[in-house]
Structure 1
Amino acid sequence: MFERIQLDAELAREYGLVADQPLTGLGSIVAITGPNGAGKTRLLRLLAEQLQTDRREFEDFAAITNPEDHDWTEQVNATCRFACDASAEPDEKRKQILGAMKRFMGRYRTSDGGWREFAKTGRWPRVVYLYAGDERSQLYRSRRQHHDTDIQDKDLRAFPKDALEELAQARFLAAHPMWLEGNEDLHERANRFATTVRALIGAELDIHVRGTSMFATLNGRRIDKDTLSEGQRVLLRWAQLIHEEVADLRDAILLIDEPELHLHPHALIEAITRLAELHPAQIWVATHSIPLLAWIGPRHIYSMDQGRPSWAGNQMKRVLGGLLGENDGTERLRTFLTDAGSLAFHQFAAECLLAAGVLPLRDGDPQAAHFVTHISELLQAAEQDVRVLEYGAGRGRLIEAIAALPTGDRARLRYHVYNDPEHTDPADASTCRAQLARLEGSEVTHRYCDDLRQHQLDAADKMDAVVLCNVLHEVSPQDWPRLMDRLRACLRPDGHLLILEDQQMSVGELPHDAGYIVLDEVELCALFNAAAGTPLLRYGQLHAGRLSIAEISAQLLVACTPDCVNKALKQVQQRALDQITTLRRPKGPASPAEPGHRRGRLHAYYALLHTNATLARSDA
């Protein structure tokens, strides 16, 4: 890796650039930025040509100074190229060698400063130039036609379908010993390439066989230019380049021109990171991407201004002004980033004017997983069948989660569902029925109902548990006493009510006129007129306090009265007010270490919670 490079002044003039100052403080990744036409691409091309031209001279110089490390033919050719003519005196040759060494030491400095050891290796970095392949490259191609260069330039737009097919087929055919014999190198290259694809793209390269035809696949999908996004095609192209150059990549300097034309910021940063993990000598990137520049950091950014490169570390304001506009572009970006909390506040508040949605089951859903654990514990503790009624099941999110339990573990579970037809979309109801039928292992289910009275009949089999998952906050507080009476009529005397809630919902909603009301442990105690710590009301939290599950004895439900509702709402008001006060003290000792966006969302959540509780109180 070069820590310092002095550009060739004459070559720079040919490219329309100014090379009056060396490029210093270069890291393993160097960014070149600036507005359109400032010279970013021309600087990369200049570097490509200069490094490749100096490579040949360096190799000649190394062959003469370290003859034991080079074959006889190479040494003779190098000596001939260095000699002015056949009668050149030894002193003149020494002067040439000394001049070459001084020139290299003046033009380049390695990262460890060890020029002597670097010269002894005799290895100059190879140059791989990745460019967009558009018409802007015409000048560069024209120069290459008139100059003796062997720079390996790679068009990022090329799609390596033939190479993919060949290597995928090689992996498949390797299973046949007759083919493998004599094709070991191809098989090894194919495996290396598959490893590179897996590392860079996160997809598995394989082969699909149809009759006598074979075609390459990624994660089971056929690889075709038209079925892949431009970013995926570029990453495959990068994988091919890495595969082709893998033996020499540690000694290569990669020059990449505006990769953000093909990749969104996150994919771009991931790709550069993975390239860096392959330890090339150096990576240079010409870019307009502000996320990529932020990731690289100001220490290793050079900006172009009218063809002159300069270190950007102490002039980032000017650099950003050139990219975003001198007037107010930088200020708008700063406002956008620093006001993430404000944006989150307004977004959540706006969402609180919309009706509540229905959640699907997500991979790793912590609330559903905790519910399944509770049901499993309930089944283990009971000797008989366990009857559970989910009130307001929506499309069957919890049913789907329970279905993941082994059949034997849930054999004694009798899971029933109630959805209010006035508040349930027919499509959601149909999905819920199907989920319940699958849970039962049948085509139809008789455990779905839209009339709760059938479970309230004296002759009905009562439930061991009734579940309200993200439901209570969607019921108007004035209806809570009536709801508790209805649920109590469905429960066995020793049964219990399970209330699961998201204590810090990430999406706002307006489930009824008063808005959402989410209760914590103290507020539930107030609602059911219970003392804190009573075994009749057990409360637990998970997921860093965000999710809660309360187990309330059936005998407490009768205590839910309008007076208790107002007491619970008063406690909600106080908690919300305390949280708002804390969030508005960002430098106080009690303030949470929250990122701006999350902080803004919490601010909105508690502000609306306080408002909703105030609106819901009948005694206010």
Structure 2
Amino acid sequence: MKIVEVNFKEDITKTVGLRQISMKKVGNTILLAGKNGSGKTRLLNIIRQQTANLALLKQQKEQSKNQIKNFKQQILQQPQQKQTLENKISNRQNQIKQFEQQISHQKHIIQSNEQNIKQSYEKIDQLEQKISENPQKKQFLENQINYHQDQIKEIKQQISQLPLQIQNLEQQIIQLQDRAMQLEQQIAELPQQKQSFEQHIRKQEVIANTPIPILADNGDENIIIVDFVPNKIDLEGWSNHNKQTWMQRADQARQLGVSNLHQATLPLIQKVLDRWINTTHPMLKYPDSAIQNSTKEYQRLQTIVKSFLGTEIGWNQDGFSTIFDRPIATAHLSAGQRVLLQLCVAIYAQGGTFSDHIIFMDEPENHLHPSAVIDLLDTIKEHNPNGQLWIATHSIPLLSHFDASSLWFVEDGTVKHSGKKPEEVLKSLLGNEERIQKLKDFTSLPGELARNRFAFECLCPPQVVETDANDPQSKQLNDQLKIIWEKKKSINLLDFGAGKGRMIANLADYKNVSPDKLNYHAFDPSDSDKEHCLKNIALSYPNEAERYHNSIENLRSNVDDNYFDVVVLSNVLHEIPHQNWCETFSNIKKNLKTDGYLLLIEDCRIPTGELAHSNGFIVFNTLHLKKLFCIPATDKTFIKHDARFDSSDQRGRLMAHLIPVSYLKLISSETIKEALLELKISAMTEVRKIRNGESSYSNGLAHSFWVQQLANAILCLTELGE
């Protein structure tokens, strides 16, 4: 298991006095270098702390994503919800109208009946008058009076029920009006609810979009870190302790940290062996679960010990744990073996296995001799092939032992990769240039050593240097692509001589670069780095196999001619023999669009010598390229860019040249000769200038570089008949 990326925002780091931390493409060994108080230990502590929170953070991110989904769903449902509420209001308004009509009708009935009653009373008065006038009809008239009186009684009975009905209808109207107002209030609250949902979404998006602070190569959030820096080498044995007290110390090894390892190492080993011996003894009875567990733990400890020390722990007839057939406490182990045994116990006690643990070591040079530290670290690396080693240190011997690509510089609470600028670390640790120079003098690093080293390297094959997006040439490439992006939304790019695919890996780290804006293809005639290159392509594109080509025929069979907007040769041209230049640029021309570009990026004073081919490397700068492609000085479409234009001693070194496709057809054997002759003159001029300067390490490298350029140019010209 390895940590491959660390991303801490300042809200995480500010509590311990650090700034925002970004560490990408972390390797197998990480050297955190910096002076005391720079933040090395705090960085290790916060990484350890955050690894313990990864599972909880992942759970919180999932919960936030679900809440965002629910809130968005509720927002989407609001129009339908509003329509439903409006329909309910409309229904209630219709009911109110119906009830009002019923009330009006009831009141009309009352009014009509009251009129009928009045008419009946008037009729009765008339009938009573007739009785007095016509006594002989009295009986008949009285019967009519009774009839009207019954009618009045019946009508009054009907009228008496209507007010109650009206009252009930009026109460129902009030209830419907109240409910309609409530529904209208709910509609009025919908915009506020939407705003509240959107606020919750923004809040949860902060959590959901918070990058995982620590990424492991296997995607697992269960990262086990073993802290290990033994502050005492001697292992505490049986003396001055009874067995019960001594064995209680075994549990101290399980505590995070290493302060008690010298006391807990032997007790823990003894405890593991005692349990295994007792549970597996044929005369003793233990549950199967106890036997299985003790056997599993015994085997795990033995595997770790054998991995680091090449032997297993034994058990003698007196009941003591042994190593190399002697009780461990009296086995006369070397200092390195005692340290390794403590490491084995630390790995075992903190849950690691024998080959995939992540080990943190905080300033190991404080407790061990530099040579002992280096021996220990070499052993750990050898037996920890699938794991990782993090070392916080200010030890120059220790830093010099590892490849510079492992170097990370910690200063004022920040961390940055310093594999290309180890001088920053030296200056921080030593104080100033004078002290650095004294160290160089002491370790025999004057100009002579530089010249000899470069000359020796010129007999060796080229080496691939790993870089990241902060590499000046990566930024230079991105800047040149921006010129093309000004005219085009998307660029079809061919990485000619792709190697491990570091170009697309670095470009992908820029915010302005995305798969829809950059259509990347890789070409390399050698398959040696194919697997690595495909992995880098796969980080940005799903069809990586279709984007990798290892022959011109394969490239042109799978990609149409005149397809690419730009073909990039990044630190590649100097490795191509001059005999192949015409054919190479002819093939590139066939792949470029009619308005396409050839982009040449070169370190025009390569810091490491190499034997690119039999005639050695040929590094061209602006003048030599103009001669090679017959580019006139007045042509504004030919663009050059100097990544170090603001540095007096580095100016003209990291160069990019954007060459229109039309010039590729002009290269010939004659233009090659002319370019090589100009290079020969440039090399002689530089050699004379350097020999008149001071004898320094940088001048030693420069001298060797230009001597090689001169020799290689002459070799090429000789083959061309000059």
Larger Rg: 2
- The TM-score normalised by the length of structure 1 is 0.47
Q: TM-score, normalised by structure 2?
A: 0.41
The structure richer in helix per residue is 2
